């Protein structure tokens, strides 16, 4: 998955935005949990820009910076048969190139 926007001066998403984690094959060094792919959630924090971990893993000469977000998910959206308490949630830090607007 290499179709991301790098070095944007402003994040694409803001706190409160509804997003969907892209489905698809992982990158060679993927930091996005597979169980969240295709799941919708909401941005709860913009963590800042960080060096692209996929590029860092392979010691590339130029490493772009990409935005990282903390995203909130409802457990029942991830696991429809979840039988735990209502309101249980998951939060994950996900890089911008894995997110699309909901």
CA distance 8 to 96: 10
**CATH code, 18-101:** 2.30.30.50
pLDDT tens per residue, range 25-61: 766 566 788 899 999 999 999 999 998 887 777 776 7
Neighbours of 99 (CB within 10 A): 22
| pTM for the whole structure | 0.83
E-strand spans in 1-102?
Answer: 18-21, 40-51, 65-74, 89-95, 99-101
User: Does position 1 have pLDDT exceeding 50, yes or no?
Assistant: no
């Amino acid at each position: 998955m290499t179709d991301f926007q790098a070095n944007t001066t402003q994040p694409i998403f803001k706190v409160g935005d509804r997003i969907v984690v892209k489905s698809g094959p992982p990158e060679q060094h993927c930091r996005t949990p597979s169980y969240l792919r295709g799941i919708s959630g909401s941005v709860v924090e913009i963590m800042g820009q960080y060096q692209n971990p996929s590029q860092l893993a392979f010691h590339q000469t130029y490493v772009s910076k990409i935005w990282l977000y903390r995203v909130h998910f409802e457990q029942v959206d991830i696991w429809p048969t979840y039988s735990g308490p209502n309101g249980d949630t998951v939060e994950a830090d996900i890089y911008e190139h894995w997110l699309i607007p909901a």
